[in-house]
């Protein structure tokens, strides 16, 4: 199988994508698959390269395009003033955040006519916009935080809220642009930070509970739930990929796998994660983040349709705990992409 592995990208999560792709490169079964690495630079240039090393752009790269012509699927590689074509069997986008999880790259992949790993356009759009995900999940009976959305340049009255509140970009990855606001005077600055990442702003009431997550692998109705994890905070709120060296751990949180919760709660979390996955139309792979309240209620936080696959990421660690190797997980992702054709 010829696998086109796409990484990098134009979002703030570019370096995380490179690290995720490194793990895919380290774990993909090269006896079964021939990987082709398609790196996207921070300014949007596509390059066919040897692999996702930290300095991949300085290696032997050639300009490349993914053909949007479904009758001639594959790569168009510029070489010595001419294009050569390389056929592919599957595309594997290892991209996070804007242009990776928001339906943009999925649109191009659909045009290519090639099967691809992960969610389709519609579910990617829904999950990337947290407010839309809340509306759809809520209509399916899933508990969500109380929230408000604000359009670009819309005035926000600080006195309408009971504090503390969370201010977020509605459509952004990880915890970039997220602030916990303790009083009305700090709200305008938090909104300005959020709008650096997205013009649409989401404001949420906090949920009193334990932050938990569940990795899901599969196409409906056959879904595998990974082991549930738990975020243990020492202070503040959970911020992912904000550290200078996340491999060394967070300065305010520890991820516990499996979560230190009762068996009945674990089963409910996994059941709820599958229900959220189905309600939002996810397929292939996603990580569902939730809160577990003291009364046993499970509340949706967000869904990551292309979750991190780095050495320290939550998704692969939850799947590790099921007994599946990372090579087996990658194989299943590829098989699930082919099963949708």
Looking at the DSSP bridge assignments, the partners of residue 302 are: 289
> 236 is in which domain, residue-wise?
125-143+208-339
Q: In this structure, what CATH number is given to the domain that contains residue 158?
A: 3.30.1490.20
Cis geometry, peptide bond prior to residue 164 (ω within 30 degrees of 0): yes
84 and 189 part of one domain: no
Three-state DSSP state, 238: coil
Check pLDDT > 70 for residue 29.
yes
The residue whose two tokens read 């630079």 is 41
Q: How many structural domains are present in the chain?
A: 3
Crossing angle of the two packed helices 121-128 and 130-139, in degrees rounded to 10: 100
Beta carbons within 8 Å of 223's beta carbon, 6+ residues apart: 216, 217, 274, 277, 278
Out of 185, 204, 223, pick the residue that ends a domain: 204
Please tell me the pTM assigned to this model. 0.93
Q: Please state which of the ranges 167-176, 181-190, 203-212, 248-257 shows the lowest mean pLDDT.
A: 248-257
Same domain, 255 and 329: yes
Q: What is the mean pLDDT of the chain?
A: 93
* CATH code of the domain covering residue 30: 3.40.50.20
Q: 202-228 pLDDT, tens per residue? A: 999 999 999 999 999 999 999 999 999
Give the whole-angstrom CA distance, residue 37 versus residue 98: 20
Domain boundary among 204, 238, 253: 204
H-helix segments, the chain = 14-27, 104-112, 121-128, 130-139, 187-195, 263-279, 314-320, 326-339
Map tokens 């959305």 to a residue. Answer: 149
Beta strands in 53-181 (DSSP E): 62-66, 75-79, 82-86, 90-94, 147-150, 165-169, 179-181
> In whole angstroms, what is the distance from residue 287 CA to residue 20 CA?
15
Q: Domain boundary at 116, 133, 164, which?
A: 116
- The whole-number average pLDDT for the span 116-142 is 97
Question: In terms of domains, do 212 and 68 share one?
Answer: no
My answer on whether 138 and 275 are in the same domain is: yes
Same-domain pairing of 154 and 108: no
Specify whether the CB–CB gap between 24 and 113 falls below 8 A: no
Residues 95 and 165 in one domain: no
212 with 99, same domain?
no
Q: Please check whether residues 328 and 217 belong to one and the same domain.
A: yes
Count CA atoms closer than 13 A to 75's CA, side-chain side: 27
Contact 224, 322 (CB under 8 A): yes
State the average pLDDT over residues 72-96: 93
Q: What is the pLDDT of residue 245?
A: 63
Question: What is the domain-level CATH number for residue 302?
Answer: 3.30.470.20
Nearest CA-CA partner of 3 in 75, 65, 92: 92
């Amino acid at each position: 199988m010829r696998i086109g592995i796409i990484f990098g990208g134009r979002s703030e999560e570019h370096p995380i994508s490179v690290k995720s792709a490194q793990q895919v490169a380290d774990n993909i079964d090269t006896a079964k698959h021939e990987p082709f690495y398609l790196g996207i630079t921070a300014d949007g240039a596509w390059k066919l390269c040897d692999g996702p090393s930290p300095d991949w752009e300085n290696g032997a790269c050639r300009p490349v395009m993914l053909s949007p012509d479904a009758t001639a699927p594959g790569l168009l590689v510029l070489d010595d003033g001419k294009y050569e074509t390389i056929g592919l069997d599957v595309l594997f986008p290892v991209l996070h955040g804007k242009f990776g999880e928001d339906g943009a790259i999925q649109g191009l992949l659909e045009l290519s006519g090639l099967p691809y790993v992960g969610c389709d356009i519609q579910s990617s759009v829904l999950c990337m916009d947290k407010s839309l995900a809340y509306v759809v999940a809520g209509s399916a009976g899933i508990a969500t935080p109380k929230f408000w959305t604000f359009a670009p340049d819309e005035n926000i009255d600080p006195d309408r809220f009971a504090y503390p509140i969370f201010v977020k970009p509605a459509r952004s990855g990880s915890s970039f642009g997220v602030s916990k606001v303790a009083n009305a005077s700090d709200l305008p600055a938090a909104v300005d930070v959020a709008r650096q990442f997205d013009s649409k702003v989401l404001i949420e009431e906090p949920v009193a509970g334990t932050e938990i997550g569940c990795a899901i692998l599969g196409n409906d109705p056959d879904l595998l739930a990974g082991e549930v994890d738990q975020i243990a905070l020492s202070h503040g709120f959970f911020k992912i990929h904000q550290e200078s060296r996340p491999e060394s751990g967070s300065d305010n949180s520890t991820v516990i796998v499996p979560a230190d919760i009762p068996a009945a709660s674990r089963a409910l979390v996994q059941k709820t994660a599958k229900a959220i996955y189905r309600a939002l139309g996810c397929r292939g792979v996603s990580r569902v983040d939730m809160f577990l309240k003291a009364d046993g209620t499970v509340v949706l936080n967000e869904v990551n349709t292309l979750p991190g696959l780095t050495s320290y990421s939550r998704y692969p660690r939850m799947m590790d705990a099921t007994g599946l190797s990372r090579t087996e997980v990658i194989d299943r992702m590829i098989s699930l992409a082919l099963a949708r054709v």
